[in-house]
A and B are shown apart, each in its own frame.
Chain A
């Protein structure tokens, strides 16, 4: 069947090219049927990509080792879910996943918007076509998943660290995010190319951007959780280039999400917003490039692959063309509205944008610095953790504070006196918390203490907003407090959903501060019966066991955990030795305290022949707040994304007023 797969990809390439060229001709000459035809081509491209993907999935499921890709990424003994997840585990398959999501999103976006933004969609189709053509080209010419060989008896197997549930979800989610950012980009370019100056493209893509941003955020948190539990080196983020590859577009997208609110409310910052969406898209392509090209020293590196230069060229081309189009349409985008005061919500959002972009730039600089220094000085200088931590604090802490300030300042202009009144309570709460924390010993880390204090400030402002809003609705005649609360949130979904998302960031900040600024570590070589003390816990090494699983030998050291004399149960840590892959993986033991959010984290670093074990133990306060933050983040996004019947009606009536059809 590989011929079918290859043929399907060729068909996709042809269709995408047609969508690009036909789309451009149709848009320039205003040809209705050709425009429809180009749009159909984009939708059909999704269909043929589905066929190609089905071929690969089937081959993986059947363990058809005549497919080189299948032999390289799976083995006979691999459990089925992991066999299927190998689809995105290797270079070519992951490119196919990208193309699948891209054509899927493209087809959906143009179909859903086909009636009420017809002259916008006519330019969106070729933009999607262009991006899809690039990926289809790579898949057909440079890196095909359908190469064949004489089938070996068994495949090479999958790296053990990839054989866990996270690997089923983390890459697809990230791809939903990366590719999802193409949608606002394509619509922005479409709006520019068609010479439109209205906000239609923003309205059409708002939910797409939110979904992509949420997927990217959750995907990163899943990756962090994976690193924490599976890789088990004691942390969750290492500022590795590939981790940063997903962080940078997420930061740019966060900035974009905020600044479009200004454009929506005040009609300002149009040029800024288009630039931001180009940046976010370029960064998502750059992120994909980083993960594949082996150009930067990373633990996730691939061998020097031929994909790299192609990506680089495409990114350069995309940025150049996008900026050229932006420059061409600059006069249309200029808006007469000016920033009225540096103390206003617009200004707060602008500072937020600047800080986010500054952080993004800092991360970017850290990633490319080795390349630049090698080119300039002949020597690659690698920037370490301290560099990133410094900038995370410098830019991240003010951002945290702004999250509490922004929503409470008035649009246009706020008087200093009103600010003092509004922020009296949160400031008092924060100062009080700061003093209490100092007394509890949080002074050991100033950035940590500051993070905590700012978090209290923001949390107070969010709580105040909910309380005030509920009270106002109750005064308007709601039946009860719960009714007032739910009607408040459902009538102002974007606003209060946004507050919930902010709350999740506060939880994230507290979790990160606690587990990195206030953690402790202890190491020791323990013989049976020996004990280790850390952070109030006492661990006694009791026994060492070995057992045989399907594809590995599992060695576990069992420890007895007590605190203040109270027995907290047993904890196991050890290693798995995988037979086929000839690799060893760390299996850490984690005990989470649900009341305090604290983790006791045990690594069995080295198991010696005399059954003594070298242990490394961490106590990480509040680390579980990070994972909780992920759930709250999802909830907040869901609230914001929830379809709003009233908003729909308004859009429909607006469309009717100029004679456009009402239905989408």
Chain B
């Protein structure tokens, strides 16, 4: 009886993660070349940040966290901007590459505070 339940649970798992596939790949700007699928882009903000996220969109550049690679991609972001956002911050944003600009899904930006215990996010539970 226990074995059956366990098997059923495992089946539910594998079914969900493989079919529904609720995940997005998490990559750096240097891996973005030519990809057109929805990805989660992780990098460091390079300023200046211009525009209004609640109007036409906030524009900034995102670079690899690893300074050696030097890849950079322009980002267009709309929606809630976390308080910690500023040039030099590590962030994660979900979206797609369109015509050379990474267009982010509204509200998908998450900032990281790398040196201490510090939760800070404006996760949009869409």
CA distance A14 to B112 in the complex (A): 38
Task: Tell me the A323-350 residues at the B interface (CB within 8 Å).
Answer: 339, 342, 350
Bitwise interface map of A from 299 to 331 toward B, beta carbon under 8 Å scored 1, else 0:
111110000000000000000000000000000
B115 touches A383 (CB 8 A): no
CA distance A339 to B60 in the complex (A): 63
A233 touches B121 (CB 8 A): yes
- A473 in contact (CB, < 8 A): no
Interface stretch (choices A118-126, A137-145, A234-242, A411-419): A234-242
B121, closest chain A residue (CB): A299
Task: For residue A235, give the distance in angstroms from its CB to the closest CB of chain B.
Answer: 5
CA distance A348 to B119 in the complex (A): 38
CA distance A231 to B122 in the complex (A): 8
Q: A342 to chain B: which residues have CB within 8 Å?
A: 1
CA distance A420 to B115 in the complex (A): 58
B16, closest chain A residue (CB): A390
Q: A383 to chain B: which residues have CB within 8 Å?
A: 17, 22-23
CA distance A473 to B99 in the complex (A): 77
B122, closest chain A residue (CB): A233
CA distance A603 to B80 in the complex (A): 10
CA distance A379 to B22 in the complex (A): 15
Interface range for A: 35 or more
A384 touches B52 (CB 8 A): no
Bitwise interface map of B from 9 to 22 toward A, beta carbon under 8 Å scored 1, else 0:
10011001100101
Q: B52 to chain A: which residues have CB within 8 Å?
A: 606, 608
Task: Tell whether A159 pairs with B118 under 8 Å between CB atoms, given A299-B113, A586-B83, A606-B52.
Answer: yes
- B103 in contact (CB, < 8 A): no
CA distance A386 to B126 in the complex (A): 9
Q: B32 to chain A: which residues have CB within 8 Å?
A: none
CA distance A242 to B120 in the complex (A): 12
Q: B120 to chain A: which residues have CB within 8 Å?
A: 159, 161, 231, 299
A354 touches B2 (CB 8 A): yes
CA distance A583 to B115 in the complex (A): 14
Bitwise interface map of A from 517 to 529 toward B, beta carbon under 8 Å scored 1, else 0:
0000000010000
B92, closest chain A residue (CB): A297
Q: Which of A242, A298, A390, A605 contacts B54 (CB 8 A)?
A: A605
Q: Which of B16, B23, B119 contacts A384 (CB 8 A)?
A: B23
CA distance A354 to B7 in the complex (A): 11
- A291 in contact (CB, < 8 A): yes
Q: A351 to chain B: which residues have CB within 8 Å?
A: 5
- A254 in contact (CB, < 8 A): no
Task: Tell whether A606 pairs with B81 under 8 Å between CB atoms, given A354-B5, A387-B22.
Answer: yes
Task: Tell me the B97-126 residues at the A interface (CB within 8 Å).
Answer: 110-125
- B49 in contact (CB, < 8 A): no
Q: A382 to chain B: which residues have CB within 8 Å?
A: 23-26, 40
Task: For residue B56, give the distance in angstroms from its CB to the closest CB of chain A.
Answer: 12
Q: B13 to chain A: which residues have CB within 8 Å?
A: 361-362, 365
Q: A384 to chain B: which residues have CB within 8 Å?
A: 22-24
Q: Which of B25, B53, B114 contacts A301 (CB 8 A)?
A: B114
A614 touches B119 (CB 8 A): no
A73, closest chain B residue (CB): B116
Task: Tell me the A187-238 residues at the B interface (CB within 8 Å).
Answer: 227, 231, 233-235, 238
B117 touches A90 (CB 8 A): yes
- B6 in contact (CB, < 8 A): yes
Task: Tell me the B29-86 residues at the A interface (CB within 8 Å).
Answer: 40, 42, 52-55, 80-84
A605 touches B81 (CB 8 A): yes
A233 touches B80 (CB 8 A): yes
Task: Tell me the A231-274 residues at the B interface (CB within 8 Å).
Answer: 231, 233-235, 238, 240, 242
Task: Tell whether A299 pairs with B22 under 8 Å between CB atoms, given A89-B117, A235-B123, A605-B54.
Answer: no
- A568 in contact (CB, < 8 A): no
B12 touches A394 (CB 8 A): yes
Task: Tell whether A381 pairs with B117 under 8 Å between CB atoms, given A354-B9, A586-B83.
Answer: no
Task: For residue A552, give the distance in angstroms from its CB to the closest CB of chain B.
Answer: 12
Q: B92 to chain A: which residues have CB within 8 Å?
A: 297
A385 touches B119 (CB 8 A): no
Bitwise interface map of A from 382 to 415 toward B, beta carbon under 8 Å scored 1, else 0:
1111110011001000000000000000000000
Task: For residue B61, give the distance in angstroms from its CB to the closest CB of chain A.
Answer: 21
B82, closest chain A residue (CB): A233
Q: B113 to chain A: which residues have CB within 8 Å?
A: 159, 299-300
- A450 in contact (CB, < 8 A): no
A300 touches B23 (CB 8 A): no
CA distance A234 to B81 in the complex (A): 13
Beyond A303-B114, A382-B24, A382-B40, 14 additional contacts (C-beta under 8 Å) are A161-B119, A233-B121, A235-B123, A294-B114, A297-B92, A299-B110, A299-B113, A299-B120, A300-B117, A361-B9, A373-B23, A382-B26, A384-B23, A584-B84
**What are the 4 A-B residue pairs with the smallest beta carbon separation, nearest first?**
A381-B23, A387-B22, A380-B26, A159-B118
CB pairs A–B below 8 angstroms (27 shown) = A89-B116, A90-B116, A162-B118, A233-B80, A233-B121, A238-B121, A238-B123, A240-B121, A300-B117, A302-B114, A342-B1, A370-B26, A380-B25, A383-B17, A383-B22, A384-B23, A394-B12, A525-B54, A525-B55, A583-B83, A584-B84, A585-B83, A603-B80, A605-B80, A606-B52, A614-B54, A616-B80
